[in-house]
Amino acid sequence: MSFHPAEWRKHFPLLANDSRLHYLDNAATGQLCEAALDAVTHHELTHRANVLRGTYRLAELADAAYENARRQTAAYLNAASADEVVFTSGATASINLVAHAFGETLGAGDEVALSLAEHHSNFVPWQMLRERRGVTLRFLPLAADGRLDLNRLDEAITPRCRLVAVTHASNVTGAVTDLAPIVAAARAVGARVLADGAQAAQHGPVDVQALGVDFYAFSGHKAFAPTGVGALWGAARALDALPPFLGGGGMIGRVTAAETSYAAPPRRFEAGTPPIAQAVGLGAALDWLHAQSWLALRAHTAQLARRLLDELAALPGLALLGPRDFQARLPVVAFNLDGIHPHDVCQLLDQHGVAVRGGHHCAQPLMDFFGVPGAVRASFAPYNTEADVDALLAGLKDVMKKLR
Ligand code: PMP
């Protein structure tokens, strides 16, 4: 199946308006697709009202749009029911929701297993839970290339484990986690599994049922949707058992001076006015993504990343982080140039119109594991082209000439 990135690019207004930009920071934020932009504009111009409380026509239109977005999100994730989708402000909020709501049910003696390859969003909330509830954190061992060592899961997933919180794909190395053995190990001890899908969800539809996890967190802005919105998918069995996290309007059954009962999921977890137009934009983006030919799209981004990896490996004094093989690997490439700070690399690359990120990537434990303070990271989306790789490589040669 042929795929034309230049055609895809036309669906991204910012890129369509700037042909000289080589945007390779997609792991941080994807560009907004026109399907999302149009849906947000249409919603704001014709359907704007608060949701799940008004009885007039406009409010009912807003309700319908918001719930349609929930169905679109559920379809993208292959959720069994739209009620398993909780809108949040993003992956960070989704993970914190679980850390608080599920965390409320844990105490001293209970264990949470995570890895050193986690983004801080799936690390710090568990340390905070340790402070609040006295739980023990255990770390899933990593292999030398930063992948989880699936042969040593029992070192961290013990009979006291109540939750395994693990990234579906690393934002530094691009390594995709094989969740099946983790789910099996967790099930064997009666623990729940949360997958941080912040890096995975934008690379094609996700099948949460096939993954077998209990919770799946992701952000809209990385999936070509607006900022300020994301979702927590939770299997009905898992969400039903959770107490609320935030209290407020919309999440209640009945409130009296003496006590409050709570609404069923997902509303139990959506206190206050949600990000309505953003959710509508997210639904539209996912609906559009769902209709794409992902085999061809993935082949295209993998080819770009593979070429970059191969050419980088040939540069003197360049160290790659993470796996070299392209098995279960997203198009995310992190590296260091010997003796040059990642920030300096990024600043010089910017002069070539190349946008890449440098730093610790909110993954300091992983940087410590690799023994580096940071790295430069190039991350691809289907609108990227060979010209973007050319520009990055030419820019890097210039960096080496100027800074070495
Ligand atoms: N997890 C991973 C793996 C990420 O890459 C990110 C974003 N860099 C997050 C969580 C947090 O996402 P957000 O900032 O959108 O909440």
Residue 404, class by beta-carbon neighbours within 10 Å (0-12 exposed, 13-18 middle, 19+ buried)? exposed
- Counting from 1 in the atom list of ligand 1, the atom nearest the Cα of 221 is 15
Percent of the chain with pLDDT over 70: 100
- The binding-site residues of ligand 1, defined as CB within 6 angstroms of any ligand atom, are 90-92, 119, 121-122, 167, 171, 196, 198-199, 219, 221, 362
Could you tell me the CA-to-CA distances from 344 to 341, 350, 351, 359, 402 in Å, in that order?
Answer: 5, 10, 11, 10, 11
Residue 381 pLDDT level (bands cut at 50, 70, 90): very high
User: Taking the CA of residue 276 as centre, how many other CA atoms within 13 Å lie in the half-sphere pointing to its CB?
Assistant: 20
Q: Provide mean pLDDT across the span 355-367.
A: 96
Mean pLDDT, all residues of the chain: 96
219, 366, 377: residue to mutate for ligand 1 pocket, most atoms within 8 A of CB: 219
For helices 124-133 and 91-101, give the axis angle rounded to 10 degrees.
Answer: 20
- Summarised one tens digit per residue, pLDDT across range 213-262 is 999 999 999 999 999 999 999 999 999 999 999 999 999 999 999 999 99
Q: In 235-374, at which residue ranges do the beta strands (DSSP E only) sit?
A: 252-255, 260-262, 318-321, 332-337, 354-355, 357-359
- Summarised one tens digit per residue, pLDDT across range 333-346 is 999 999 999 999 99
Q: Provide mean pLDDT across the span 287-313.
A: 96
162's tokens:
């109540």
Residue 390 pLDDT exceeds 70: yes
Q: Name residue 176's beta-bridge partners.
A: 169
pLDDT of residue 1: 58
Residue 54 pLDDT level (bands cut at 50, 70, 90): confident
Domains and CATH numbers, the chain: 5-31+293-403 (3.90.1150.10), 36-290 (3.40.640.10)
pLDDT of residue 404: 80
